[in-house]
Amino acid sequence: MDTNIYHYVVKDAAAANYPLEKFRGQTVLIVNTASKCGFTPQYKGLEELYAKYKDKHFVILGFPCNQFKEQEPGTNDEIQKFCKLNYGVTFPVLSKIDVNGPQEDPLYTFLKASVPGAKEPVPIKWNFTKFLIGPDGKVIARYEPATTPEQIEPDIIKTLKIAK
C-alpha cells in the first residue's frame, strides 16, 4: 500500500489528470463536498483558511460527492460555478467522485486506511469529512463533518509550523 498521497493522480473539474505529487512538501486538507448539504456553508470557512495560509504552503482540495442523499447532483461545471458564485471559492474543487463503495476513488481508499490510530478503514459517513495531510504526504488526522474549518485551524498551524 502507498504511504503518502503523492502516488495518486485524480481528475480536475475538466477531467484532466491532476497529480497530487505537485503538493509535495505542502500541508493539504482534503474534503468531500456537496452543494445541497447542511454543511455546505463550510465552504466559507474553508475558503477563509485557504486565503489565510495558501502562501505558507497550504492547499485545500475539494472533491464533490453525490453519494449522500444525492446532495451534489450537478455537473462538474455547475459545481464550479456554484462554489465561485456562492462562496468565492478559489481553492481547487476537482472532479466529482465516489468516496465509498465499489467505485470509490483510490485516493479515498488510501485516506480511510491511513488515519493514525485507526485499526481499520472507516467509511465516509457524510459530506464535508476532512483529512489533514502533512508535508510528507501522510494523513495526520481525520475530522468528521460537524468539525468546522475554524476548529481545524490550530492543527493546520501546527503542521505549517507557524505562529498565529
What are the residue ranges of helices labelled H in 1-148? 42-53, 76-87, 106-113
Q: Is 15 helix (H, G, I), strand (E, B) or coil?
A: coil
Catalytic residue chosen out of the listed positions 5, 13, 30, 37? 37
Cell numbers representing residue 34 in the block? 456537496
Please tell me the distance from the alpha carbon of residue 120 to that of residue 97, in angstroms, as a whole number.
22
The residue among 62, 38, 35, 64 whose CA lies nearest residue 49 is: 62
Amino acid, single-letter form, for residue 54 = K
Question: CA 90 to CA 17: how far, in whole Å?
Answer: 19
Task: Identify whether 37 is a catalytic site residue.
Answer: yes
Tell me the catalytic residues: 37
